[in-house]
Amino acid sequence: MSLRSNLRALLTMGRGVVQGLSDLHAADDPIVYFQQWFADAKRSGLFLPEAVCLATATADGEPSARMMLFKGVDQRGFEFFTNYESRKGDELAANPRAALVFHWAILERQVRVEGSIERITVPESEAYFRNRPRGSRIGAWASKQSMRLPERAELEARVREYEAKFPGEDVPLPPFWGGFRLKPERIEFWQGRLNRLHDRLRYTRAGERWNLERLYP
């Protein structure tokens, strides 16, 4: 982090610790507020501010979690991309509900998002896939994500196979790969405060509106 980024991070953290979240109201849009927090995290120079923990569960409730890269949010929800045949893909197909946790430690901020899951459209997945580096697109074809790999040489051989199959920049979207959208039903903003008396404000969707409540830390 540069000196300017360090100063931005300290100022953002200081405002949050001192002022808390008293500026949130039931009429506010939590998606817009999240976008502001995410912009703060990026301006602060944090490494991979888009890193997020995704929690899923099997149809009978066995949980699992992993770190992902969040790729965007709008009023429809939070987007991420993966192999649909991976463990998380299988779990989301069987139990289309999930949770996300963003944690920006240096800012003393955390956001929790819970809701239902849907696949985004193929054209949306194609648009994102085209913007990935060629190596990442080849990797998406080569990796049988979450399946047993006897030795790394097998993965490297599959990479060479698909490099030969798609020699130019035109690497198409694999049929087993694409995006998910988490449609939020609850969004909680956590702001660290002095003496561990943190601020927690939770928005819960009620039709087209959001209800707001403050939680004990």
Structure token pair of residue 158: 């599959």
Q: What kind of fold does domain 3-132+175-215 have according to CATH?
A: Pnp Oxidase; Chain A (2.30.110)
Write down the pLDDT at residue 22. Answer: 65
Q: Is the overall model pTM greater than 0.85, yes or no?
A: yes
Which among 196, 200, 205, 209 is annotated as catalytic?
Answer: 196
Helices (H), the chain: 3-19, 30-43, 87-94, 122-130, 134-142, 152-165
Instruction: Please tell me whether residue 46 adopts helix, strand or coil conformation.
Output: coil
- Considering only CA atoms, which of 195, 189, 205, 200 is closest in space to residue 104? 189
Write down the pLDDT at residue 28. Answer: 82
**Rounded Cα gap, residues 39 and 102, in angstroms:** 13
**Strand positions, DSSP E, 93-215:** 97-104, 109-119, 177-191, 199-206, 209-215
181 noted as active-site residue: no
pLDDT means per 10 residues, the chain with 217 residues, are 55 56 73 95 93 98 97 97 98 98 95 98 98 97 97 98 95 98 97 93 93 94
